[in-house]
Amino acid sequence: MTILVTGGAGFIGSNFVLDWLAANDEALVNVDKLTYAGNPENLASLQGDPRHLFVQADIGDFARLSALLHDHAIRAVVNFAAESHVDRSIHGPEDFIQTNIVGSFRLLEAVRGYWHELPQDAKLAFRFLHVSTDEVYGSLEKTDPPFTERNQYQPNSPYSASKAASDHLVRAYHHTYGLPVLTTNCSNNYGPYHFPEKLIPLCIQNALAGKPLPIYGDGRQIRDWLYVKDHCSAIRTVLAKGKVGEIYNIGGWNEKANLDVVHTLCRILDELQPRPDGLSYAKQITFVTDRPGHDRRYAIDAGKLQRELGWQPAETFETGIRKTVGWYLEHQDWVQNVLSGDYQSWLEKNYAGRG
């Protein structure tokens, strides 16, 4: 038996692949286009492992994906493949439409054709798990209850709109064709192998480099923070026990304002790797112009997942963020390898004029 994972060289996907192969012997076909955020180095520990087949391919390549499904007798697909950075979607939405909408459609078509030809028992056992985001639900006011699976979709960025569209396609393929789908909507992830364009890895790296720690607006935007290993365990749970056609929200029960997250990072860095001058890294915090249409608050109610499938996160924010800072301090070689000229150009483009 074999599963197929798309986007398995990215941040969440590579953590899922590593954890999957650490937990069981079922083989895994790993498909990734290797855009800027897809990093084969994340998977270096799997080199020579016969259970792991890496294939560089685009989920929009219908023929390639169809062949992989048939050739490896795939029994489940876990779809992580997506463009996922809000700021990048503001600067250039085209890639998000192509990958998150068109790519998802072509992947669904390849899976539908393959699934339709399966014997009845394999058909019943097959699953297509689509990994999505809480951002499809829009923004919450401070006193609003957290998002549940019944919240109306109200995406506010090109990124979240493209993910909402892919969620709707997945739902439609279940209701129209009977494809056995599962959808998960997660909160903000953090942890090892996180590409340093996002808040936590960016601030860790800028702190160590003596650079400003850029905080959008007043820094009081609230997110629910989910340690990536907890996210991966939730996906394994949904894949194994989730009810076909259902949506499951995955959250860490950790609502934190961005500014508070950065102060926590600074406090841990002050302890683990103090500045040479003895001052706190918090001295490097700099407030910059907010991004357009910045959602104020996201919060996930993961109660359904706990009640129905028995999952809950293993990490608190304090334990997860300490593990994350420690990982980055111990893997500076990985960080330096991803800080390419293209990445530096992106930083300059995104933060120019915000000061």
Q: What angle do CA 249, 230, 338 make, to 5 degrees?
A: 105
Pick the catalytic residue: 32, 83, 135, 315?
Answer: 135
Pick the catalytic residue: 114, 159, 216, 281?
Answer: 159
Pick the catalytic residue: 32, 58, 87, 134?
Answer: 134
Phi, then psi, of 185 in degrees rounded to 5:
-120, 115
Q: Is 135 a catalytic residue?
A: yes
> Are residues 33 and 8 in contact, defined by beta-carbon separation less than 8 angstroms?
no
Phi-psi region of 245 (alpha: psi -120 to 50; beta: other; left: phi over 0): left
Query: Which residue blocks in the chain are alpha helix, DSSP H?
Result: 11-23, 62-71, 86-91, 94-96, 104-116, 120-125, 158-177, 199-208, 228-241, 258-272, 303-309, 317-330, 332-338, 341-351
Six-digit token string for 164: 């909402």
- Separation CA 50–CA 204 (nearest Å): 35
Q: Is 153 a catalytic residue?
A: no
SS3 205: helix
Residue type, 221: Q
Catalytically active residues, by annotation: 134-135, 159
